Structure 1
Amino acid sequence: MKKQFFDVMIIGSGPAGLNAALVLGRARKKVMVIDEGRPRNAVTHKTHGFLTRDGISPAEFRRIAKEEISVYPSVSFEADTAVSIQGTDGHFEITTEKGNSFSGKKVLFAVGMKDQPLDIPGLHAVYGKSAFVCPYCDGWELRDEQLVIINKGAEVMHFAPVISGWSNRFTICTNGPDELTDAQREELQRHQVPVFDSPIQSIESHEGIVQQVVLEDGTIIPCRGIFFKPELVTGSDLPRDIGCHITETGMVVVDDFGKTSVQGVYSAGDATTRMHQAIAAASMGAIVAAGINNELNAEVWKQND
């Protein structure tokens, strides 16, 4: 059987990858979407802030998206993990964990980010239930509740005024040295924000709802919700393997249309930005897909001159 050759191979089927597949399918491009089906947001029960889909579960979001994309027969899905990539613009080849091989003209990495292991005892049990990373996604559900913010340094000074729009009843736990300046500590004191730098001994909860945070110095902080800064890495090493420029924080460097430093390779979604929201990722997927499509069409146009 003749091996299939695709216009675009998309690695990842989160909001960015799915919206890109939709746009490219409507542009009559032959697309393969490769994804293992283990999204980072699988720990959450609901996705928020996405117009017409507010409160939908990540699994249901993907089901509806794939159902809509299925109208466009040029888009295919493969439930697998891409493990290697080679080639150059016009002819890339991707090999998967199951031993499959796919070839295509362009590559779009929509690989997102993934969490490093959570090293605070008890945090895993509440993550996605009463402990979250983004107040724009989950702040409404914890409005006016007693919260614990686990963060330190300059990021605390950004996060504190942001979270105050949802609740002014919060305590900061830096889980070790606070990395704050004297001026920053004084600012938090003026706003009556307690700060504890003792390491966290455990997070105690019941059926996923946090009850209290226990520090190593014996301090007990009752709370009903947690916001914390996760340690993230790019969802796949393939962008680095193919030679894409990567920032010190692990993000893929792209231009306004998702072009990486490697000709023919694009990236979109959480792997390219710190704006980790489903609607932002979907928007970027659509924009990058249009850029890819324009490039493909221009190449064919020039061939026919």
Structure 2
Amino acid sequence: MEKQLFDVAIIGGGPAGLNAALVLGRARKKVAVIDEGRPRNAVTREVHGFLTRDGISPSEFRRIAKEEISAYPSVSFVGDTAVSIVGTDGQFQIETEQGQIFASKKVLFTVGMKDRPLDIPGLADVYGKSAFVCPYCDGWELRDQPLVIITKGAELMHFAPIISGWTNRFTVCTNGPDELTDADREELKRKQVPLFDSPIRHIDSSHGIVQQVVLEDGTIVPCRGIFFKPELVTGSDLPRTIGCQITEAGEIVVDDFGKTNIPGVYSAGDATSRMHQAIAAASRGAFVAAMINNELNTEAWRRNG
């Protein structure tokens, strides 16, 4: 099969990858966006905090983005999964699950993060409907409502003051040992925050709206919403496979310009940050795309004398 030649192969078609494609298309670069079409935020109904797009569904967001990018014919969308990458800076070869082969000068990973299986019975039924991970994305819709917060330890003590800006009616369920200090427990007690460390038996809901959290010791906590800390892994194993440095939290390590430790390989978006917001990912995708374009143009300038 004949290789298709590109300036940049973007692996992942979320906000970071799409905005990168837009910037590179406008920079007259030949780009392939390789995306399997299974975004993490597909479980949610709406995207929030994105100026001019607040409240849009994830699928409509992508539809509009692709429509706008279609004005730049050098950008191609490939509905497939990248399964291998070999080569070096300027001469990468990407093979997909369907056997397509792409040659590309640079690679940009915008693979995001994905959730590990949710091990709390009933949580999957409410995730994206009344159970969320980010109050900046979904706190407004649950303002002043009775909530359950599922997290523990230092993460809890960071999260509790933040969520209090949306509601002071929340109960903490740590789903096992709370991993708190005595001082932490005393602080929560002073703030009149109920704290339960019994494991969660199941979450009861109706049509995706949580009704109560039932603990193994028989405690029942009525609520209208949940915020929880998910367990995440990088959205693709390819960065690790080709030698990109990965943190213990599963994030791809990049410098200030989006470069990984592999020459010619960049990354942007949720896979490189704990700030998992669509607008933040899109912004970073645009910036890193400009850095890639600068590198390509400088290389061409010097190569041509």
TM-score range, shorter chain: over 0.9
- Residue 289 of structure 1 corresponds to 289
Q: CA deviation at 1:4?
A: 2.1
Q: Give 1:58's aligned residue.
A: 58
TM-score normalized by the length of structure 2: 0.99
**For 1:83-136, what per-residue CA distance to the aligned partner results, in whole angstroms no more than 9, with x for missing partners?**
111110001011111111111000000000000000000000000000000000
2:257–2:288 Cα contact (<8 Å) kept: yes
Count residues with an aligned counterpart: 305
Q: How does 1:194-213 map to 2 (within 5 A)?
A: 194-213=194-213
Distance between the aligned counterparts of 1:301 and 1:21, measured in 2?
Answer: 22
C-alpha displacement at 1:242, in angstroms?
A: 1.1
Q: CA shift at 1:3, angstroms? A: 3.1
Match of 2:272 in 1: 272
Is the 2:85–2:93 Cα contact (8 Å) retained in structure 1?
A: yes
Any gaps of 5 or more consecutive residues in structure 1?
none
Determine the C-alpha separation between the residues in 2 that align with 1:182 and 1:99: 57
Structure 1 SS opposite 2:250: coil
Q: Residues of 1 paired with 2:154 and 2:299: CA distance?
A: 47
Q: Which residue of 2 aligns with 1:28?
A: 28
1:113-262 correspondence to structure 2 within 5 Å: 113-262=113-262
**Post-superposition offset of 1:256:** 1.2
Contact 2:4 2:101 in 1 (8 A): no
Supply the distance in 2 between the matched residues of 1:195 and 1:103 (Cα, whole angstroms): 55
Q: Is the 8 A contact 2:83 2:238 kept in 1?
A: yes
- 2:270 counterpart letter in structure 1: D
Partner amino acid, structure 2, of 1:21: A
Following superposition, the deviation at residue 304 of structure 1 comes to 1.5
Q: Distance in 2 between matches of 1:61 and 1:242?
A: 31
5+ residue gaps in structure 2? none
AA aligned to 1:255 is: D
Residue 2 of structure 1 and its aligned partner are, at CA, apart by 5.2
Residue 302 of structure 1 aligns to a residue whose secondary structure is helix
Residue 70 of structure 1 aligns with an amino acid whose one-letter code is: S
Distance (whole Å) between structure 1 residues aligned to residue 83 and residue 197 of structure 2: 41
2:73 counterpart letter in structure 1 = P
- Report the counterpart of residue 111 of structure 1 in structure 2: 111
User: Matched residues in 2 for 1:236 and 1:59: separation?
Assistant: 21
Which amino acid is 2:21 matched to? A
Supply the AA of the counterpart residue of 2:88: T
Distance 1:200 1:4 in 2: 51
Q: Following the alignment from structure 2 to structure 1, what is the Cα–Cα distance between the partners of residues 220 and 12?
A: 41
Partner Cα distance (1:53, 1:291) in 2: 26
Distance in 2, Cα, partners of 1:18 & 1:288: 12
**Structure 1 counterpart SS, 2:83:** strand
Q: Distance in 1 between matches of 2:137 and 2:262?
A: 33
* SS of match in other structure, 1:212: strand
Percent same amino acid at aligned positions? 81
Deviation at 1:257, TM superposition (A): 1.2
Cα deviation digits, residues 6-46 of structure 1 (max 9, x gap): 00000000000000000000000000000000000000000
**One-letter code aligned to 2:285:** G
Amino acid at match of 1:98: Q
SS at match of 1:240: helix
Q: Which amino acid in the other structure matches residue 60 of structure 2?
A: E
Partner of 1:64: helix, strand, or coil? helix
One-letter amino acid of the structure 1 residue matched with residue 31 of structure 2:
V
**What's the counterpart of residue 12 of structure 2?**
12
Q: Distance in 2 between matches of 1:220 and 1:207?
A: 19
- Match of 1:243, as an amino acid? G
In the superposition, the TM-score normalised over structure 1's length comes to 0.99
Which amino acid in structure 1 is aligned with residue 193 of structure 2?
V
Residue 69 (structure 2) aligns with: 69
Mapped partners of 2:3, 2:160: distance in 1: 55
Q: Within 2, Cα distance between the matches of 1:291 and 1:25?
A: 14
Question: Matched residue of 2:283: which SS?
Answer: helix
Residue 214 of structure 1: how far off its partner (Å):
0.2
